[in-house]
A and B are shown apart, each in its own frame.
Chain A
Amino acid sequence: MKVKLSVQNVFKVFGKSPKKALPLIEQGKSKDEIFAETGMTVGVKDASFDIHEGEIFVIMGLSGSGKSTMVRMLNRLIEPTAGKVLLDDVDIAQMSEEDLRQVRLHKMSMVFQSFALMPHLTVRQNVCFGLDLAGDTPVEERNKRAESALDRVGLLANVDSYPDELSGGMQQRVGLARALCTNPDVLLMDEAFSALDPLIRTEMQDELLRLQAEDKRTIVFISHDLDEAVRIGDRIAIMQDGVVVQVGTPDDIINNPVNDYVRSFFRGVDVSSVLSAKDIAQRKQSTLIRKDSDLGIGSSLQLLRDNDREFGYVVNASNKFLGVVSVDSLRASKANGTGLDAALLEDDMRINADTPIGDLIGQVAQAPFSPPVVAEDGKYLGIVSKSIVLEALDRQTGEES
């Protein structure tokens, strides 16, 4: 995967002489100690991570953990105190003002929590803002592109309104259209949906995912909400007191939180959307029938009987899932003299590894046997029984109380 943005050992200290605080950080002094000693605030401390082309990279953390500072160093609205920010291998931190302006005009744009639309401009003029500044597209073309951007966010009817005539959700759609209009490679979104009602917020998240499916941009999305992060993020970085403590896929982070801070985010989180089938699939309590050359129908029947099972799961030597057999289907096959393949049930109820467990409950409850979980490459991962699903959902309520 190509690295689009690479953040390397980036520090930000707010204060009179930030460089002087760097040695103190190196000595291992905490943010509070440094503030007490020098009056300077450590915003971001030694952050390093890569953002891949075409992914939605979420930066998450509590308020004051340095998320906004971090994202503003990506387009240098905030000057890093030390470190590199490489966009396509070019260091933004070292760029000339003019080069930086070109990056902001053409390669990166931003969506803000407060919408930050220009109140004296119409919706159309707001969306054109970036193109107007660059001034290198004819006016006709600008208007056309603005309209197409507005169309994509469903606001074409409001081109001539002023921002204060629109609802919050609509304003942020304009904000999104404004950012998309310059057709940037990278979209920075600082808590873009945090100011919206929960319902509108979900709608906007869907909208973003839809837009992202249409043209794969690199999106850096700031959020303080794990539900949101998990919903839209391909990968998540978690910040704590200016430090990036963990970077990984949502699953990684949920299953292996590095510390209590990270763990604390999951309290109250809707597990049913966070955990997927592969996270709870179990290999125990199921009878595997390995389809080797010498394993016949008879021995298969014997295996099920020995384990007191009604159903068996058939895999090949490289653990590829082949299907499900039942005692009845095996008996029928034996009577007919056909092989194991003929005994496979027509509907093996297989479940995709990435299905959220919230969507599993109905399927698992209705199935006559525990459905098998199968990875994308066809590998067998285990089964999900009713009791496992219930246990997983219960974990959520348990943690909430």
Chain B
Amino acid sequence: MSANPWGDTSQTDTASDPWGGGSEDGLDYLADRSNEVEQSFDIIRPFDVDGGIIPLDNMVDSAIDAAVPVLRPFFQVVAKPIDWVLNLFETALVSTPAILVILILSGLAWWLSTRKIGIGTLIGLVIVGLIGAWDQAMTTIALVITSLFFCVIIGLPIGIWLSRSDRAVSVVRPILDAMQTTPAFVYLIPIVMLFSPGKVAGVVVTIIFAVPPVIRLTNLGIRQVPEDLIEAARAFGTSPRQLLLKVQLPLALPTIMAGVNQTLMLGLSMVVIASMIAVPGLGLMVLQGIGRNDIGIATVGGLGIVVLAIVLDRITQHIGSNGR
């Protein structure tokens, strides 16, 4: 797989069979199956039917082919707010002089957590600048922060809903498991077909992969609020809304922040994969480095990602732990 099969993602029809024709490498399972001879059922090897007894792959292919034209307009609308927020962050980060950005971000880190972390942020960002990954890093930060923003906006209400209904949990939990375990490559292509390749699709892919921790830990945090505090709050006459805002959410905050932290880390871990659908930034540096066998540029991109991860992790971890 040293070639770059995603180089031409703009062609939507690649989804139908992008990996066809690999059979001469002995990769039989990737071979085109159209020339198979008719098979008889064998009880010893009951599932040895080409294409499966239930042709899931074909079903998915045709379902997506049918759905994309219908759904595309809808997803173009969904893309609007994402695009808008993303542009806001990116413009702010890219068009502001680097020195100013470094000072503001370090100051923010100091204010949100500790002086030590503030200084760490300063050093980290300077390193990113010195190795020549500044612009890419700003693009990546904008992308990750935008994803985080939408993860929180989506995840918090869902988490609250789950905390109130066991049935909702039993329905949503398998979906969350699937979102976290399904390899991103599987939904990369449908997402691209729906949103067109680019940053917005990158944010969407990142959201899918990174939103589960916010949902899970919001649910967990609210459920962990001691029963006697809930009872006391009710005894003093809280409305359901006051109970949520004045008792449950504040007390769940450390747990929710742990979820935010995880979401942020997962978001960063997606940047390389997202770069495969034409998302610029540090991830693209890594991908290009691999593609061109240029270890140097891949290392610069990789180091940039690691530095950002450490900085963002420390800041969010601290917000969670010092809150009353």
Q: A residues touching B (Cβ–Cβ < 8 Å)?
A: 75, 77, 101-105, 108-110, 112, 114, 116-120, 129-130, 132-134, 162, 178, 182, 188
Given A120-B253, A182-B236; 11 other pairs, CB 8 A cutoff: A101-B239, A109-B236, A112-B228, A112-B231, A114-B228, A116-B226, A116-B232, A118-B247, A120-B324, A133-B238, A133-B239
> In the complex, which residues of chain A have a beta carbon less than 8 angstroms from the beta carbon of B174?
none
> In the complex, which residues of chain B have a beta carbon less than 8 angstroms from the beta carbon of A117?
232
A116-B237 in contact (CB<8A): no
Q: Complex Cα distance A120/B322, Å? A: 11
- Report, nearest first, the 5 A-B pairs whose CB atoms are least far apart: A104-B237, A116-B232, A105-B237, A110-B235, A116-B228
A77-B236 in contact (CB<8A): no
Q: What's the least CB distance linking B254 to chain A, in Å?
A: 10
Q: What's the least CB distance linking A72 to chain B, in Å?
A: 8
Complex: chain A residue closest to B247, CB-CB: A118
> In the complex, which residues of chain A have a beta carbon less than 8 angstroms from the beta carbon of B250?
120
The residue among A103, A112, A116, A130 with the most chain B CB atoms within 10 A of its own CB is: A116
- Given contacts A133-B242, A162-B324, A118 and B229 within 8 Å (CB-CB): yes
A102-B235 in contact (CB<8A): no
Q: Complex Cα distance A314/B247, Å? A: 68
> In the complex, which residues of chain B have a beta carbon less than 8 angstroms from the beta carbon of A102?
237
21 A-B pairs within 8 Å (CB atoms) are namely: A75-B235, A77-B231, A101-B239, A104-B235, A104-B236, A108-B235, A112-B231, A112-B232, A116-B229, A116-B232, A117-B232, A118-B232, A118-B247, A119-B251, A120-B250, A120-B251, A129-B236, A130-B237, A133-B236, A133-B238, A188-B235
> In the complex, which residues of chain A have a beta carbon less than 8 angstroms from the beta carbon of B236?
104-105, 109-110, 129-130, 133, 178, 182
The residue among A114, A117, A134, A178 with the most chain B CB atoms within 10 A of its own CB is: A114
CB < 8 Å A-B pair total: 58
Q: What's the least CB distance linking B127 to chain A, in Å?
A: 37
Main secondary structure on chain B at its contact with chain A? helix
Q: Is B164 an interface residue (CB 8 A)?
A: no
Complex: chain B residue closest to A105, CB-CB: B237
Q: Complex Cα distance A188/B233, Å? A: 14
Complex: chain A residue closest to B236, CB-CB: A130
- The contact string, 1 if C-beta is below 8 Å from chain A, for chain B 309-324, is 0000000000000011
Q: Is B234 an interface residue (CB 8 A)?
A: yes
- Given contacts A120-B251, A162-B324, A133 and B237 within 8 Å (CB-CB): yes
> In the complex, which residues of chain A have a beta carbon less than 8 angstroms from the beta carbon of B231?
77, 112, 116
Q: Complex Cα distance A104/B231, Å? A: 12
Instruction: Count residues of chain B with CB under 8 A from any CB of chain A.
Output: 20
- The contact string, 1 if C-beta is below 8 Å from chain A, for chain B 11-25, is 000000000000000
Q: B residues touching A (Cβ–Cβ < 8 Å)?
A: 226, 228-229, 231-239, 242, 246-247, 250-251, 253, 323-324
> In the complex, which residues of chain A have a beta carbon less than 8 angstroms from the beta carbon of B229?
116, 118
Q: Complex Cα distance A77/B233, Å? A: 10
> In the complex, which residues of chain B have a beta carbon less than 8 angstroms from the beta carbon of A118?
229, 232-233, 247, 251
> In the complex, which residues of chain B have a beta carbon less than 8 angstroms from the beta carbon of A129?
233, 236
> In the complex, which residues of chain B have a beta carbon less than 8 angstroms from the beta carbon of A130?
236-237
Q: Complex Cα distance A105/B234, Å? A: 10
The residue among A75, A102, A133, A134 with the most chain B CB atoms within 10 A of its own CB is: A133
Q: What's the least CB distance linking A38 to chain B, in Å?
A: 23
Complex: chain B residue closest to A182, CB-CB: B236
> In the complex, which residues of chain A have a beta carbon less than 8 angstroms from the beta carbon of B228?
112, 114, 116
Q: Complex Cα distance A133/B236, Å? A: 8
> In the complex, which residues of chain A have a beta carbon less than 8 angstroms from the beta carbon of B233?
118, 129
Q: What's the least CB distance linking B253 to chain A, in Å?
A: 8
Q: What's the least CB distance linking A109 to chain B, in Å?
A: 6
Q: Complex Cα distance A132/B228, Å? A: 19
From A110, A134, A162, contact of B232 by CB (8 A):
A110
Complex: chain B residue closest to A103, CB-CB: B237
Q: What's the least CB distance linking A346 to chain B, in Å?
A: 57
Q: What's the least CB distance linking B241 to chain A, in Å?
A: 11
Q: Complex Cα distance A202/B194, Å? A: 72
Complex: chain B residue closest to A131, CB-CB: B236
> In the complex, which residues of chain A have a beta carbon less than 8 angstroms from the beta carbon of B247?
118
Q: Complex Cα distance A112/B235, Å? A: 10
Q: Complex Cα distance A129/B232, Å? A: 10
Q: Complex Cα distance A129/B246, Å? A: 10
Q: What's the least CB distance linking B224 to chain A, in Å?
A: 13
Q: Complex Cα distance A108/B250, Å? A: 25
The residue among B231, B232, B247, B324 with the most chain A CB atoms within 10 A of its own CB is: B232
B235-A77 in contact (CB<8A): yes
Complex: chain A residue closest to B323, CB-CB: A120
Q: Complex Cα distance A133/B246, Å? A: 9
> In the complex, which residues of chain B have a beta carbon less than 8 angstroms from the beta carbon of A178?
236
Q: What's the least CB distance linking B248 to chain A, in Å?
A: 11
Q: Complex Cα distance A112/B226, Å? A: 13
> In the complex, which residues of chain B have a beta carbon less than 8 angstroms from the beta carbon of A120?
250-251, 253, 323-324
> In the complex, which residues of chain A have a beta carbon less than 8 angstroms from the beta carbon of B232?
110, 112, 116-118
> In the complex, which residues of chain B have a beta carbon less than 8 angstroms from the beta carbon of A105?
236-237
Q: Complex Cα distance A298/B235, Å? A: 71
Q: Complex Cα distance A114/B250, Å? A: 20
> In the complex, which residues of chain B have a beta carbon less than 8 angstroms from the beta carbon of A75?
235
> In the complex, which residues of chain A have a beta carbon less than 8 angstroms from the beta carbon of B237?
101-105, 130, 133-134
Q: What's the least CB distance linking A119 to chain B, in Å?
A: 7
> In the complex, which residues of chain A have a beta carbon less than 8 angstroms from the beta carbon of B235?
75, 77, 104, 108-110, 188
